[in-house]
Amino acid sequence: MAEIETSAKPATLYRYRPLGIRRLPSRKSRAEPAIIDRELDAIEQHYVFCPTYPEMNDPMECLYASMQRVQEKSDYQDFVPDVRDKKLGIGIASFCEAWDNEVMWAHYAGGFRGICVAYSVSKLMDGLDDRHSLVRIVYGDSPFNMNLAGRRDRSGCARAILSAKNLMWTYEREWRLFAPFRGRAQHGPGVVKRVYLGARMDPADRRIITGRLLSIGLEVRRTRVDGDMVERLPPSKPPKPRCCR
């Protein structure tokens, strides 16, 4: 029987992260300090946080259809809650293949006010233990279809269901990191390559984030929107020290 090969793997994957929106009396919008700390802590402490699927944004997440032959099996009534429990036990972190996806900036990075973190795929996988896996999402016009093989391998079945999404989400170009539990997937130093700042980020927030990231040696790139394109600006540099007289 022929096999499906996935030999082409991306060198870099990206995570779009919102920073919250705090409305000031001046009507300016600033990021939430606690969320800035949370996101920068993940970078500084070398981990990716993996929630479970009910915390994802797609209400149709994890739906599947079962073949008639599967439903007729005597253990099918036990199979359904067992697979649900296994899905609930898997931590998930979503990545994208591109940093300049304007829809992703709008939907997942706080309307261009958040950040986009670039990860080295090879270093990420080297830093995680073998209980973790990285999969490319398969998009289709119908729910994942359960067959007899899926009934036998229930853990594999849960991951397969979590690896399928409706065609309407194709623009996300998503990869998913599967972890053995909800929480921190600890990797190691050198995994994060650079951080892009949203084009609409408040200058004060930009200074805070840039200062912390430059202090740990990370490349920081501002972005701007030109028509329907997202462009990156030259790398940020540490501020020059002021001379005292």
Instruction: Return the minimum-mean-pLDDT range out of 66-70, 86-90, 123-127, 189-193.
Output: 66-70
Provide the token pair at 27.
């009507």
Please give the DSSP secondary-structure letter assigned to residue 171: G
pLDDT at 240 over 60: yes
User: How many other C-beta atoms lie within 10 A of the C-beta of residue 237?
Assistant: 9
Provide the token pair at 220.
């920081």
Percent of the chain scoring above 70 in pLDDT: 81
What is the greatest pairwise CA distance in the chain? 86
Q: Where along the chain do its domains lie?
A: 12-235
Determine the average pLDDT of the residues in 31-51.
Answer: 97
Query: Taking Cα atoms as reference points, which of 181, 163, 160 lies closest to residue 49?
Result: 181
Q: What pLDDT is attached to residue 245?
A: 47
pLDDT at 102 over 60: yes
Task: Please tell me the distance from the alpha carbon of residue 200 to that of residue 101, in angstroms, as a whole number.
Answer: 15
Q: Is 234 helix (H, G, I), strand (E, B) or coil?
A: strand
Q: What pLDDT is attached to residue 58?
A: 57
pLDDT tens profile 108-157? 999 999 999 999 999 999 999 999 999 999 998 876 666 545 456 778 88
Task: Please tell me the distance from the alpha carbon of residue 198 to that of residue 224, in angstroms, as a whole number.
Answer: 8
Determine the average pLDDT of the residues in 35-63.
Answer: 85
DSSP secondary structure, 36-80, as one string? HHHHHHHHHTTEEEE--GGGSS-TTTT-EEE-HHHHTSTTHHHHH
pLDDT at 3 over 70: no
Q: Is 182 helix (H, G, I), strand (E, B) or coil?
A: coil
Q: For residue 63, report the phi and psi dihedrals to the nearest 5 degrees.
A: -75, 145
pLDDT tens profile 158-184? 888 899 888 989 999 999 999 999 999
Task: Please tell me the distance from the alpha carbon of residue 40 to that of residue 50, in angstroms, as a whole number.
Answer: 15
pLDDT at 64 over 80: no
